[in-house]
Amino acid sequence: MSAPLIVFDLDGTLVDTAPDLVDTLNLILARQSLPPVPYDEARRLIGGGARRMVARALEADGRPTGGAHLDGLVAEFVAHYSDHIADRSRPFPHLTTALDQLAAQGCAFAVCTNKLEWLSVKLLDTLGLSARFGAICGQDTFGVMKPDPAILLGTIERAGGRPDNAIMVGDSETDIATARAANIPVVAVDFGYTEIPLTDLAPDRLISSFAALPDAVRDLIAASPR
């Protein structure tokens, strides 16, 4: 049997990327003579990729959100962000300890994110985390985005795991919906970027710190009928 595979979302789950993403968004808006988005509001825009983040910021200001203009702004966003990808972004507390404990329990790890794959790899490389993951898959890896379960199932396959021996860890409605569509248990973290209270979404486990993740994973593995 393959090792249990823990598949993590990235932004708002593994890494607090909001400081650099929000800084980049507001820089791009300033270039268009648009007002900045307040930090707490912009934080909630994270999770659907750069295009969705920029489009939602434009929409909130009543600006057009499609066509070549949006394409250009997204290209500017990605170019600047890639050069400042970990200026202030850091792993959430207790992450590395939790990964060490889970690895000691025989678990393997992967990342499934709506961030572009190369940006995800660059971020995790910069933070010294990428070697921990058997696969790092983004919105462009398989040509689909969460909540389409194909991206999660493809990530599991690429990491050498099996859907009946995998657990998703995420911070949002999108992550929970993706896991549900793939018929995979899901642990939600309440320190991420969700717009909806996670208690309303009924994940299999809800944790407030990565210190609680090893026990949550152990409980879900023990409770699995598969």
pLDDT tens sequence across 70-91 = 999 999 999 999 999 999 999 9
50 DSSP 8-state letter: H
Give the pLDDT confidence of 111-138 residue by residue, as tens digits: 999 999 999 999 999 999 999 999 999 9
- The DSSP annotation for 171-199 comes to SSHHHHHHHHHTT--EEEETTS--SS-GG
Q: Three-state DSSP class for 7?
A: strand
Does 9 qualify as catalytic in the annotation?
yes
pLDDT number for residue 22? 97
Q: What global pTM score does this model have? A: 0.94
What does the mean pLDDT of the chain come to?
Answer: 94
Instruction: Name all domains of the chain by residue range, CATH numbers in brackets.
Output: 5-16+89-223 (3.40.50.1000), 18-83 (1.10.150)
Could you say which of 9, 171, 175, 204 is catalytic?
Answer: 9
Q: Where are the alpha helices (DSSP H) in 61-161?
A: 67-83, 95-104, 117-126, 149-158
Rounded to the nearest 5 percent, the helix, strand and coil shares of the chain are: 50, 10, 40
Taking only the tens place, the pLDDT of each residue in 18-75 is 999 999 999 999 999 999 999 999 998 898 889 989 998 898 878 877 788 899 999 9
Cβ atoms of 203 and 174 within 8 Å: the answer is no
